[in-house]
Chains A and B, each alone.
Chain A
């Protein structure tokens, strides 16, 4: 996993609630045995019609919008636990997803792949959507160290929560397995002192 560094980017708006992981990456594209290539099918059925033609009014097909930040309606990533959703976002170049609410499993999967889910309030989300609507070139700054999301042109700073352990992992590019492998002795000791039927 790459270390997460402070950056500035424009954002892609997706003002839809309850975006489930079947939309992020439909099941028929889950057949790969590596983590590569999923970005091509990100939001496949919203991006392309049944004849594989681009659907013009979907935001990813609108040349006005680009960037490494996806801003989405509440309860983003609900449904299936497929980590392929995080791989698809990563493959497409998304580093941050902003929403007013995230589904649990998606949130964990994103963090395990170096994607930062930033939860803001409903009102803040509205302001971010409006900012992009007014100016699709509007830039946002993500500073994980300071836990701050900034709407650059408006000078609005939004502080976000992330637990310290995950923050350290993202900043240093570490993952949970490195930590767990160092615990082997304690895990074996735990196994030896219990009976499970």
Chain B
């Protein structure tokens, strides 16, 4: 019978059927960070048990870390305690940790792929909803809660019900100035913030397969923003090339054997999905969010919906009130005070290159604070080797040190109340970037253009 990519991987990981709906699923890779792991380690301690498979577990400190002066002790005592607790826990239970200051440290969803730990055909989890990022390599990757982190620590397994499957096909060539971020924001705006709940998504079509691995990660990263537990893309030559020679990737003969296995990972012709959507790349323009969930998105030349015509008028009223925006308004021309280029969605080297290429020879607007927070130490190093740091400095952008930063403002990187921030991150929830902060989600290119002009612009006008 024709099988979907999802079913092929899922079925290969069933340890046991519990009943007609629940199965014990084996987990190949477990990433952890300082925020969602301490209570799980305490759980192991309370039960007096070991961490079952330490070699399949990788830790990094990312959510709480400062993005300036990382060589100094963390100032906030609570953040410091959480980061120190991770270090102590990893030492006690034997987990490999990329600690603050380590040359391979970074945002968990940036370093996993970068180090070749993330590979096709695997099951991958992390106590973080953006674990869906790793699905870009053709695996089943999803976020879990801390109780489940403890379950994986204890048994390398989870008890799960199989989700439904959805395929989203995007075909055609994107307009100049339109990127992977616009594609996923467009899809979420069509499906809404709950449209994917209960599903695991496979992205397909010529637009997707012509994307680089980093662009594919941007797409899969935001699957959770429409409620889908995960998103995946069938691995191909682009995937195999990316993985080859990475630190933990299989080498030589083993790589060749791996390729044999990875090349079987695709949805069979005729495989059926519980839900299918198709979009045309040509319809997608630069996207922006105007509300307080990622489903509230429009193209730069579209008006904010009218309250009376909106599906949920109460939500729109509340969101626009928070955002200080009007129904029917165009976002183009909206003044912004902050630009945040970073997060597990858009802080990889290609994102930084695109921004550098755009801002080279230009100056940010005086009233704008423009931050670039690289996804990892390796991204930061690469950027400096390529001289991007000079380009950013010349244009008035600040290149900081890696971490989750102003995506969620757990450290001191916050947007002040009432200010507008055009952000390449993934969530525009109320208070996400700081209490009262107003977030407009966009692509790195749109964010860079807004930094230069001090207001939201259609980046396509810069394209030849």
Q: Which residue of A lies closest to B119 (CB)?
A: A197
Shortest B348–chain A CB gap in Å is: 21
A75-B197 in contact (CB<8A) = yes
A183 touches B26 (CB 8 A): no
* Contact count band on A: 35 or more
A54 within 8 A of B: no
Within 8 A of B (CB), among A6-53: 15-18, 20, 22-23, 26-28, 30-35, 45, 50
Query: Smallest Cβ distance from A46 to chain B, in angstroms?
Result: 8
Q: Complex Cα distance A168/B314, Å? A: 38
Q: Which of B146, B148, B261, B432 contacts A27 (CB 8 A)?
A: B432
Q: How far is the CB of B5 from chain A (nearest CB, A)?
A: 16
A158-196 contacts to B (CB < 8 Å): 163-165, 175-177, 179-181, 183-184, 186-187, 190-191, 194-196
Chain B residues near A183 (CB, 8 Å)? 15-16, 24, 155, 157
Q: How far is the CA of A109 from the CA of B36 in the complex (A)?
A: 12
Q: Does A78 contact B (CB under 8 A)?
A: yes
Determine whether the beta carbon of A108 is less than 8 Å from that of B145: yes
A133 to chain B, nearest CB (A): 15
Q: Which of A59-67, A79-87, A136-144, A146-154 contacts B (4 or more CB under 8 A)?
A: A79-87
Inter-chain contact A23/B429, CB cutoff 8 Å: yes
A23 touches B197 (CB 8 A): no
> Does A18 lie within 8 Å of B147, measured CB to CB?
no
Cα–Cα distance between A196 and B257 once the two chains are bound (Å)? 10
Interchain CB contact under 8 A, B157 and A194 = no
Quick one: CB contact mask for B292-306 with A, threshold 8 Å, 1 for yes?
A: 010100000000000
Closest chain A residue to B144, Cβ basis: A81
- Say whether, besides A50-B417, A113-B147, A82 and B155 are in contact (CB < 8 Å): no
A83-141 residues at the B interface, CB under 8 angstroms: 83, 86, 101-105, 108-109, 112-113
The reply on B271 being an interface residue by CB < 8 A is no
Interface check B78, CB cutoff 8 A: yes
Which residues of chain B have C-beta atoms less than 8 A from A15's C-beta? 314
Given A22-B430, A187-B156, A190-B15, check contact A35 B194 (CB 8 Å): no
Q: Which of these binds chain A: B120-128, B210-218, B327-335, B368-376?
A: B120-128
When the two chains form their complex, are residues A104 and B293 in contact, meaning their CB atoms are under 8 A apart?
no
**A163: which B residues are within 8 A, CB to CB?**
19, 21-22, 161
Asked whether A186 lies within 8 Å of B436 as measured between CB atoms, the reply is no
Contacts of B24 in A (CB 8 A): 180, 183, 186-187
Q: Are the CB atoms of B435 and A50 closer together than 8 Å?
A: yes
Interface residues of B in 220-234 (CB under 8 A from A): 224-225, 227, 229
Closest partner residue, chain A, to B64 (CB atom): A31
Residues in chain B near residue A35, CB distance under 8 A:
39
Contact, CB under 8 Å: A112 / B148: yes
- B423-450 residues with Cβ-Cβ distance < 8 A to A are 427, 429-432, 435-436
Residues of A near B224 (CB, < 8 A) are 79
Closest residue to A102 on the B side, CB-wise? Answer: B197
A34 and B39 within 8 A (CB): yes
| In contact, B49 and A181 (Cβ under 8 angstroms) | yes
Once the chains bind, are A165 and B19 in contact (CB under 8 Å)?
yes
Selected contact of B145 from candidates A86, A177, A184, A191, CB within 8 Å: A86
Of all chain B residues, the one with the shortest Cβ separation from A184 is B155
Tell whether, in the assembled complex, residue B28 and residue A196 are in contact, meaning their CB atoms are under 8 Å apart: yes
A50 and B159 in contact, given A22-B430, A103-B197, A194-B12 (Cβ under 8 angstroms): no
Report Cα–Cα, A110/B18, bound state, in Å.
Answer: 21
Nearest Cβ in chain B — how far from A97, in angstroms?
A: 15
User: Does B81 count as interface, using CB distance less than 8 angstroms?
Assistant: yes
Contacts of B36 in A (CB 8 A): 81-83
B262 at the binding interface (Cβ < 8 Å): yes
Pairwise interchain contact A31-B410, C-beta atoms closer than 8 A: yes
| A34–chain B nearest beta-carbon distance, Å | 7
Residues of B within 8 Å of A17, CB to CB, are 312, 314-315
Q: Which of B26, B28, B431 contacts A23 (CB 8 A)?
A: B431
Q: How far is the CB of A53 from chain B (nearest CB, A)?
A: 13
Complex Cα–Cα for A139 and B79 (A): 42
User: A175 to B19, alpha carbons, bound, how many Å?
Assistant: 16
A165 touches B159 (CB 8 A): yes
- Does B198 reach chain A (CB closer than 8 Å)? yes
Cβ-defined contact, A181 with B147, below 8 A: no
> Do residues A75 and B193 form an inter-chain contact, with CB atoms below 8 A?
yes
Q: Contact mask B254-277 → A, CB, 8 Å, 1/0?
A: 100110011000000000000000
Q: Are B85 and A33 in contact (CB under 8 A)?
A: yes
In the complex, A113 Cα to B143 Cα: how many Å? 17
Cross-chain contact of B151 among A26, A79, A82, A180 (Cβ < 8 A): A180
Roughly how many angstroms separate A42 CA and B35 CA in the complex, as a whole number? 17
Contact of A31 with B78 in the complex, beta carbons under 8 Å = yes
Chain A residues in 8 Å Cβ range of B158: 176
- Across-interface contacts of A74 in B (CB, < 8 A): 194
The 5 residue pairs across chains A and B that have the minimum distance between CB atoms: A197-B258, A112-B147, A109-B145, A83-B145, A33-B38
Provide a sorted-by-A list of 24 A–B residue pairs whose CB atoms are within 8 angstroms.
A16-B314, A16-B315, A18-B295, A28-B410, A31-B78, A33-B81, A79-B129, A80-B427, A81-B36, A103-B197, A104-B197, A104-B227, A109-B146, A163-B19, A165-B18, A176-B151, A177-B155, A186-B15, A186-B24, A187-B155, A191-B26, A196-B28, A197-B258, A197-B261
New A-B pairs, 9, CB < 8 Å, besides A18-B315, A30-B35, A105-B143: A31-B64, A33-B85, A45-B435, A74-B194, A78-B197, A112-B148, A165-B19, A177-B43, A181-B49
